[in-house]
A and B are shown apart, each in its own frame.
Chain A
Amino acid sequence: MMNRKKATVSLLSLIMSASFYVTATQAQAPSDRLQVYAGPQTATPGQNISVTIEMTDVDGKSSHDETVKLIYISDGVSTSLSGKVSQGLASFDVPAQRRAGRMIFNAHTGDLISNQTPVKVGAGEPVTFEFTVEPSRNTNLLDITSDVIRDAFGNPVSDQTLIALDWIDQGGVKQSEFVQLSNGRMTYVSSCPDAYAAPLKIRAVLKNVEVFSSELSDLCAGRKERT
């Protein structure tokens, strides 16, 4: 069994060599001879990213049978994949990281280091969410709110996403509204329908997720009965 002192030294040397490597590669200018292409440029967690390394000689002609290494960081973990170029190209399939953010791909072989090619990873499809409906301070208005809505990996759903809110009574959809998220949350004030036949609910639809509120007749009591 390795003693604690030796283990500490080993860990330290590993960290130092890793940081030296990173420093060395960062200091080196990218070469036109090694290019990395990756797409799609925006991906969702787990989605396949197609990465292709191109390697040429000094005249721009395709290299063949050379080993290249693809390097990227996924969810904070540095990863490398090796492959051989065939007529100038080597391709890899890389799953997008779970955490929303950017993945940077680059390649190296021998003394050559490539450009850096970013791929933006956004939130995926939301998992189910909840929202609450409460009386507002103003009459006939209701506050509709939710917690931060997240995808399966915990990433907040983009604020660019719209939620469709439908007021539904016994006869169907009474009125519809669209709400834009703010910092991943829904914060919205809506007014009760002019007239409706109980039961009355709100249906919230976000991408493929559909969620219903509880019965709201009590919150819109003054106007609930048709005559």
Chain B
Amino acid sequence: MTLDSLHITKRLPATIGALLSGVVFAGFVSSVIETPVSSNEYLHEHLTSSASRVDQSWEGDAFELPLQDRQKLATIVMELEQPNWTPASDSAVTGQALTATKEAACLLTTKPCAVAFRLGREFSELHINKDLRVANVKETSLRVTFSSDPEFATVSIDEIANETRLFRFYQTQYGWTQKTSEVLETKLIDLGNRKDKFVEKFSTNFVGINYYPASASWKEFWTEFPVEEIRLDLETIANMDSNSIRIFLNHDYFDNADTQAEANAKLSIFLDLCAEQNIQVLVTLFDLRPDYTLSNMSADVDHIDQVLASISHHPNILGIDIKNQADLDFPTWGQGVVEGWLTVMARHIQIQYPDVPITVGWSNPDSALGLKDVIDFVTYHEYGHVEGFSDRLDAIKTEAGDKPVMITELGSTIWNPFRSTRAAEVKQASRLESQLRQSIAADGVFVWTLNDFQHVGSDVVGRRPWRKAQQRHFGLLRSNGSARPSKNVLQAHAENLARQSND
């Protein structure tokens, strides 16, 4: 849920309408000021020096090359492969490697070019002169190639492949110098048809809820982690016959070396609590991190491994939502870059954790079919008009083919300064009932959200107080824990589906 996906009620009394128009105008001015300036997509804008980070790893049990030589060789390769590398007089490269490096560099902003990023690099010794005069070194990596065409101001992902390369180095009076850089083998990633893997998992019709505890939303969910409150909430969800929830892993908390162990431990506890209630969990990664820097992809892949390595086999994982509402970042980062980044993350998960289905939670039906050939199930959010809900869903189902389609956010706020709380709650329930009635074709729906929140940070919806107020009041439960009519609507829907399933 973000500031761009709030449903705005129309048809206001004229007198109040004038007042509101002033607020809306102020909001408009404010949003214009705050909206990031979108730019054309040039590859250069996405290249940073962080790619020079020497996160090398060497295969093998016994090495002929001493450690310092291995480090030196890997550093040479990494430095030469900066996408915007220019030769310096002391560059440790010559011959065919120099030609290859120049050809691979992406120096002119005015010309189309392609840049290869390499993830999961591993080096190994292939042939070493015993006196360390000359050395053949093999590298294996996942190569991701992006291309940029300045004429059309676009960046797009071209190819993902497992690649093996050969580098040759020889000793000069200045030390090791790279002489060749050759591709030995390229294997395009072919994951085949994965739908058969998940037939059983998606035979369930998911009735779910987006979840944060009332006392600890967004970042605070994981830092505070109120276990007893969570346990009671999960009981409530299970008692509603709801069989799934969607959660968000705050990137900073799960990525920071000081907190990641604690974060992973809490996530394991959370999944076990869900298992007690037989609740499946759709885990959303990279929350509150709108950063798609291409040269950081290697670190982002490491982040995925750091989170998934210990939980990917947990029986209560429904799937992985790589990024919440990534399409909202298109204007700032460029569609090609965002989609390329998502594709790389998706492929990494599919290769490393083949039993985990993946999706991207698109912010609206118009974006729902993004990367449909990459992801395993289609998910999108519905904050639009109730009218046309089923038509939009049907159109997406048709285009999605045999891939499951889920609406992973729907619902509405009851906060409205111009309507009584009781009336707003009735309207919330009525809207939800209409949406659920039209969602028969969906393979799952997830309501936003179980709870009203005591606090919503500015980093979630911005500083504007009315935005925060709206966001705090989407709950099926009131802040005192009592049920709103919408809770009964969802429960009836869940019970109905459960009954049909049992029949």
Provide the residues of chain B in CB contact with A37, threshold 8 Å.
129, 133-134, 170-171
Decide yes or no whether B499 CB sits under 8 A from chain A.
no
Provide the residues of chain A in CB contact with B166, threshold 8 Å.
62, 87-88
- Taking a contact as CB atoms closer than 8 A, the residue among B99, B126, B170 that contacts A87 in the complex is B126
Decide yes or no whether B130 CB sits under 8 A from chain A.
yes
Decide yes or no whether B472 CB sits under 8 A from chain A.
no
Indicate if the CB atoms of A50 and B170 lie closer than 8 Å: no
Indicate if the CB atoms of B134 and A61 lie closer than 8 Å: no
Among listed A52-60, A120-128, A161-169, A200-208, interface-contacting one:
A52-60
Indicate if the CB atoms of B136 and A88 lie closer than 8 Å: yes
Provide the residues of chain B in CB contact with A93, threshold 8 Å.
130
Decide yes or no whether B168 CB sits under 8 A from chain A.
yes
Provide the residues of chain A in CB contact with B184, threshold 8 Å.
87
Indicate if the CB atoms of A87 and B136 lie closer than 8 Å: yes
Provide the residues of chain A in CB contact with B179, threshold 8 Å.
60
Q: Given A50-B131, A62-B166, A62-B168, decide whether A56 and B180 contact each other with a Cβ distance below 8 A.
A: yes
Decide yes or no whether A48 CB sits under 8 A from chain B.
yes
Decide yes or no whether B441 CB sits under 8 A from chain A.
no
Decide yes or no whether B132 CB sits under 8 A from chain A.
yes
User: Does more than half of chain A's interface fall in helix, strand or loop, or is it mixed?
Assistant: strand
User: Does more than half of chain B's interface fall in helix, strand or loop, or is it mixed?
Assistant: strand
Decide yes or no whether A145 CB sits under 8 A from chain B.
no
Indicate if the CB atoms of B180 and A62 lie closer than 8 Å: yes
Which B residue's beta carbon lies closest to that of A49?
B131
Decide yes or no whether B496 CB sits under 8 A from chain A.
no
Provide the residues of chain B in CB contact with A89, threshold 8 Å.
127, 129, 134, 136, 168
Decide yes or no whether B315 CB sits under 8 A from chain A.
no
CA distance A48 to B131 in the complex (A): 10
Determine the interface band of chain B, counting residues with CB < 8 A from chain A.
20 to 34
CA distance A164 to B474 in the complex (A): 93
Decide yes or no whether B310 CB sits under 8 A from chain A.
no
In chain B between 114 and 170, which residues have their CB closer than 8 angstroms to a CB of chain A? Answer: 126-127, 129-134, 136, 166, 168, 170
Indicate if the CB atoms of B127 and A50 lie closer than 8 Å: no
Which A residue's beta carbon lies closest to that of B133?
A37
- Taking a contact as CB atoms closer than 8 A, the residue among B99, B134, B182 that contacts A52 in the complex is B134
Q: Given A37-B170, A87-B136, decide whether A61 and B130 contact each other with a Cβ distance below 8 A.
A: no
Indicate if the CB atoms of B131 and A54 lie closer than 8 Å: no
Decide yes or no whether A40 CB sits under 8 A from chain B.
yes
Which B residue's beta carbon lies closest to that of A37?
B133
Decide yes or no whether A187 CB sits under 8 A from chain B.
no
CA distance A39 to B129 in the complex (A): 9
Decide yes or no whether A38 CB sits under 8 A from chain B.
yes
Provide the residues of chain A in CB contact with B180, threshold 8 Å.
56, 60-62, 88
CA distance A211 to B143 in the complex (A): 66
CA distance A40 to B129 in the complex (A): 11
Decide yes or no whether B95 CB sits under 8 A from chain A.
yes
Provide the residues of chain B in CB contact with A40, threshold 8 Å.
131
Provide the residues of chain A in CB contact with B130, threshold 8 Å.
39, 48, 50, 91, 93
In chain A between 25 and 84, which residues have their CB closer than 8 angstroms to a CB of chain B? Answer: 37-40, 48-50, 52, 54, 56, 59-62
Indicate if the CB atoms of B96 and A54 lie closer than 8 Å: no
- Return B179 CB to nearest CB of chain A, in Å: 8
Decide yes or no whether A146 CB sits under 8 A from chain B.
no
Indicate if the CB atoms of B133 and A50 lie closer than 8 Å: yes
4 new A-B contacts, CB < 8 A, other than A37-B129, A54-B134, A88-B180, are A50-B130, A60-B96, A61-B96, A89-B136
12 sampled A-B residue pairs with Cβ under 8 A: A37-B129, A37-B134, A39-B131, A39-B132, A52-B127, A52-B133, A59-B96, A60-B180, A62-B180, A87-B126, A87-B184, A88-B166
